[in-house]
Structure 1
Amino acid sequence: MPAFAQDDDHLSAGDFQRIATLIGDHVGIRLPPAKRLMVEGRLRKRIRMLNLASLHAYGDYLFRQDGLEGELPFLINAVTTNKTDFFREAEHFELMQKLLVPDLLARRAKERNPLLKVWSAASSTGAEAYTIAMVLADMVAQQHNFGFSVLGTDISTDVLEQGRRAVYPAEMVTPVPQGMQSRYLMFARRPGIRPEVRIVPELRRLVQFQRLNLMSKNYAIDRDVDMIFLRNVLIYFDKPDQSAVISRLIEHLRPGGYLLLGHSESMVGTSIAMRQVAPAVFQKV
C-alpha cells in the first residue's frame, strides 16, 4: 500500500460535505467545516483497517464504489463523540438521591417494592449508567423498599460493547467515592502497565445496553420510565432536532418522571413543557 503523508491526505470538500450530511441526517450531529480535521483524524484508523491507501480512496469506497451501506455503522462509530466520566456533573446524582428518588417512591407509596426504571439515553461507554446504578444500589441497601433497572442506549456499537464488558481504565474511576469503589469495582490483583477495573457482576446484572438512534421517529423503550438522563448530547443537534428528541423522550416518562439534561444545555430546557425543579432537571406533570 503506498505511503501518504498525513499533511497531504485529506477528504475532498465534496466528500466531507457528503459525510457531514449523512451523519446529520442519520444521527442528528452537525459537522461544520471546522470539524473536518477531527473527522479525518478519526477516520485514518478505519482506513488502515480497510487497507485503503488514503482518505480520498475512502471517499471513493463510500460514495463511488457502493460501500456505504455496509460501512455506515463503522463511520458513525468513528465520528461520534463519546466523552463520558463517572459522576460527571455530580450535583445531579446528589439531587437524585436526596430529592428525585424519594419523590418518585412517595408517588408509588401504595406499591410494594416498586421498580424504578432509569434510562441513560446517550450512554457512551456506560460510565453514566453505572454511576446511576451505584447511587441507586446504595439507596436500596439502606432502605430495602424498592428495586431498579438501568438502560443505556447509544448509536455507537463500539461504546455499547464496552458498556456490556464494563471494563475501564483504573484512572477513569477516580471520581467514584472510595466506599463505592470497594463495593462496586473489581481491581486486578496484579495490575498491568495500564491497570483496569471492572464493575462487579451484581451491578452489571442491573444495567442493560441496546443500540438506539435518537433521530429515529419511534423508540422501542418502555413508556413508564422514571428518570431519563440525556446530558451533553443536545448541544451537537440543531434546534428542530433538539425539540423533536425531547418531545419523543417525554413520551416515555411516567407522570411525575424526570428528565435530566447537561448543565451546558440549560437553555435548551427553556422550551420544554415540563416543570423545572433544578438547573437542567425537569419533571413531567
Structure 2
Amino acid sequence: MTAIPNNEPAMKDREFRWFAELVRSHSGISFGPDTRFLLERRVARRMRELSIESVSAYQYELRSESRRDGELAALIDEITTNETYFFRERSQLRALVAEILPEALVARRERGGGAVSVWSAGCSSGEEPYCIVILAREAGFDPERDLRVYASDISRRMMKRARAGSYREASFRETEPALRAKYFEEKDGVWTISDAVKKCVDFIHLNL
C-alpha cells in the first residue's frame, strides 16, 4: 500500500493513471504530468476527510458498487471546486451588459422574440450569474423581461451553495459597498442575495 503523508500525497504511476482516467471518463477533466500534483492533492484531501490512509484503500472505496456513485461525485466536487468571487471578471461582465446584451435585445425584438438567454457555464458557487443580473439592473434593464440567466456546474455541492445565494466576506473583495448593501442582506457575517436577483437565475447541474 502507498501511504499518504499529512502534507504531500504520493501515488505510484499506475495509481495516478487510474485516477486520471477515472476523473476524465466521468467529468471530461484531464490530468497529465504537469498537473499530476493537483490531482494528487485533491485526492489526498478527500482521503483525509474519510480517514483513509492508503491510495489502494481509497481505490477500493471507489470500486465498491454500493458506495461508488456517491463517493465519485464527492471526489469530482473536490477536484472541480475553485475559488471565485463577485465581479472577478468585471471588464468582461460590463462588456456583456453594455455592448452584447443591447444588441442581442434589438435583434430579438426585430424577430418578434422575447428575453435574451445568457448561460454561465462552470458557474461554481454562483457569483458570476448573480453579477450579470445585478449589472443588468444597474444598467437599466429589467432582468425578468429582458434576459434569462442559466447557470451550470458539474459540482452538486457548488450548485447547492449557488442556489442558497449566501456568501461570506471573501466573496466581496471586488464589490463596491453600495452594491452589496443594495442587493444583499447581512446576518451573522453571511450575506444573502436578494430574491429579486435570485429569481432571475436558473441553476442546472450539468457536466460539460
Q: TM-score, normalised by structure 1?
A: 0.63
How has the CA–CA distance of structure 1 residues 113 and 36 changed in structure 2, closer, same or farther, with 3 Å as cutoff?
closer
- Report the counterpart of residue 126 of structure 1 in structure 2: 126
Partner of 2:60: 60
Partner of 1:233: none
Distance 1:57 1:34, change over 3 A: farther
Q: Percent of aligned positions with the same letter in both sequences?
A: 27
Residue aligned with 1:10, SS:
coil
What does residue 16 of structure 1 align with? Answer: 16
Dislocated runs of 4+, deviation >6 Å: none
Q: CA deviation at 1:165?
A: 1.0
Identify the structure with the greater strand proportion: 1
Corresponding residue number in structure 2 for 1:38: 38
Q: 1:7 to 1:116 in 2, by over 3 A?
A: closer
Which residue matches 2:171? 172
1: CA distance, partners of 2:179 / 2:170: 15
Q: Which residue of 2 aligns with 1:136?
A: 136
* Greater share of residues in helix: 2
Residue 42 of structure 1: how far off its partner (Å):
2.2
Separation (CA, whole Å) in 2 of partners of 1:32 and 1:24: 11
* Aligned alpha-carbon RMSD (Å): 2.7
User: Is structure 2 residue 107 aligned with structure 1 residue 107?
Assistant: yes
Q: Which residue of 2 aligns with 1:201?
A: 195
Provide the TM-score with structure 2 as the length reference. Answer: 0.83
- Name the SS for the 1:88 alignment partner: coil
Other structure's SS at 1:30 match: coil
Does residue 206 of structure 2 align to residue 212 of structure 1? yes
Equivalents in 2 of 1:153, 1:54: separation in Å?
34
Q: Which amino acid aligns with 1:183?
A: K
Pairwise CA distance, 1:46: 2.7
The answer to whether the 8 Å contact 1:153/1:209 transfers is: yes
Superposed CA offset, 1:188-207 (max 9, x none): 2xx4xxx3211111111111
The CA deviation string for residues 214-243 of structure 1, in whole angstroms up to 9 with x for no partner, is: 1xxxxxxxxxxxxxxxxxxxxxxxxxxxxx
After superposition, the Cα gap between the structure-2 partners of 1:5 and 1:20, relative to the gap in structure 1 and judged at 3 Å, is closer
Deviations along 1:168-208, one digit per CA (max 9) or x if unpaired, are 121321312333212211122xx4xxx32111111111112
State how far apart, in whole Å, the 1-side matches of 2:205 and 2:51 are.
Answer: 28
Q: Which protein, 1 or 2, shows the higher relative CO under an 8 Å CA cutoff with sep ≥ 6? A: 2
Q: 2: distance between equivalents of 1:33 and 1:24?
A: 14
Assess, with a 3 A threshold, how the Cα gap between structure 1 residues 111 and 11 changes in structure 2: closer, same or farther. Answer: same
Deviation string 1:43-79 (CA, Å, 9 cap, x unpaired) is 334324434333331123224x445344221121111
